[in-house]
Each structure stands twice: as C-alpha cells, then as structure tokens.
C-alpha cells in the first residue's frame, strides 16, 4: 500500500487519466489529470492550526506531478498548461481543501520548466461521485487565452465524509481550434508569469 507522510495515513486510491484529442489536430493534443484520495485529518472537528498539513502534502504533490508527467509522455517540456483542485467530504471544511493550494501548485512548478504562472485552482465540499471542473491556464503566462480551459474530474466512490480528493491537471497545448484572440503562446516573454 502506498503511504503518505501523514502520520501513516494511507492513500486509499489514485487515478491517472491521460487522453489525446486525435481527430481534430495535426499534432495530438494531450490532456490529463491525477486524483488521489486521502484521509482528511481534520474531518468532523474544528482545528484552529491546520497549516502544517501543507508540509505533509508536499511529498504527495511531487509524486503526483511526476506520475502525471510520465503518463503524459514523460517529457516535462511538452506540458503547456496546468491546474489543480481539491474536494473534501462532508465532514470537512472548505478551508481543508484550500490546504492543497501550495503543495499542489509548487509540486508541478518544480517539475516543469518555464512554469512561472500561478497555478489556477478550485475547491469544494462534496460527497462520493461529486464532479469538479479543474481550471487550466498556460504554465508560463496566465494571459494566454488559448489555454484557458477546464478538465472535469470525479471518482465514483470519493470523497467519503472523512476524505479529501486532491487533483493535478495538465495539457500539452491550447484548446482545439482556439481563436479567441489575446496573447499568443509563441509571443510569451515569460518573465512575470502573466505575459
């Protein structure tokens, strides 16, 4: 069984889902996500100091980022966009889901070259089978409109009321047939994460 640095709390389930959009592009566009189901150590009670849990989540974030990059073709240079999300079960708080922001985002940025843009995110409280749309933007310049996108993620039996689902998402290109204008990916300067 895989284990986290969470007082030996087990990783109950991990789902990796890469896929290609083949029929509409000369270059196959890859999109994918990884979702891991873990115990929420704060479920069912109010705990004032919870920020230390972000440090506990860092190893999981790094492992998930590496697994997703491998599933997407094992070349971090091909990843152009990313996003993250988390869902807590009904005995958790939205603030528990927010603890995934730093470990989820930095784990991807540490593995991907030219990733200066902030990693977009979303979070919610939900029950087993709940779906969440993971926002995705260009990894080096948030203003690149062609990469504004989302990937829907859900696991049929998660999260249970005392669990969390933490998610990372990546793509290798823009939306298929994008033509909404704005900054083109080829024109990114890449100094500030915006343009």
Structural domains present in the chain: 11-185 (3.30.1330.110)
- At residue 161, the pLDDT reads 97
CA distance 47 to 128: 24
Q: What's residue 183's pLDDT?
A: 75
- CA proximity to 84, closest of 67, 65, 71, 69: 65
Question: What number is the average pLDDT over the span 131-135?
Answer: 97
Is the pLDDT at 135 greater than 90? The verdict is yes
Q: Distance (Å, rounded) from C-alpha 146 to C-alpha 131?
A: 24
Q: For the segment 140-152, what is each residue's pLDDT rounded down to a tens digit?
A: 988 888 889 999 9
Task: Tell me which of 18 and 35 has the higher pLDDT.
Answer: 35
The string of pLDDT tens digits covering residues 161-186 is 999 999 999 999 888 877 888 877 77
Say what the pLDDT of residue 7 is. Answer: 45
* Residue 102 CB neighbours (<10 A): 16
- Of residues 24, 26, 40, the one with CA closest to residue 123: 40
Over 70: is that where the pLDDT of 42 sits?
A: yes
For the chain, the first-to-last Cα distance in angstroms comes to: 43
The mean pLDDT of 53-78, rounded to a whole number, is 95
**16 confidence band (pLDDT: 50, 70, 90):** confident
pTM of the full structure: 0.89
Tell me which H or E stretch contains 171.
strand 163-171
Q: 161: number of CA atoms within 13 Å, CB side?
A: 4
Q: How confident is the model at residue 4 (pLDDT cuts 50, 70, 90)?
A: very low
């Amino acid at each position: 069984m895989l284990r986290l640095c969470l007082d030996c709390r087990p990783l109950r389930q991990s789902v990796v889902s890469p896929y290609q959009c083949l029929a509409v592009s000369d270059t196959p566009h890859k999109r994918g996500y990884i979702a891991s189901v873990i115990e929420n150590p704060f479920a069912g009670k109010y705990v004032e100091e919870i920020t230390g849990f972000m440090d506990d989540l860092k190893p999981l974030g790094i492992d998930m980022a590496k697994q997703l990059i491998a599933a997407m073709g094992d070349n971090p240079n091909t990843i152009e966009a990313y996003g993250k999300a988390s869902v807590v079960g009904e005995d958790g708080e939205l603030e528990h889901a927010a603890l995934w922001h730093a470990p989820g985002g930095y784990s991807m940025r540490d593995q991907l070259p030219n990733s200066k843009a902030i990693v977009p995110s979303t979070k919610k409280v939900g029950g087993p089978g709940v779906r969440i749309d993971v926002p995705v933007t260009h990894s080096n310049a948030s203003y690149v409109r062609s990469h504004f996108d989302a990937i829907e993620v859900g696991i049929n039996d998660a999260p249970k009321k005392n669990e969390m689902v933490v998610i990372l998402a990546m793509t290798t290109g823009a939306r298929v047939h994008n033509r909404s204008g704005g900054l083109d990916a080829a024109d990114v300067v890449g100094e500030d994460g915006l343009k």
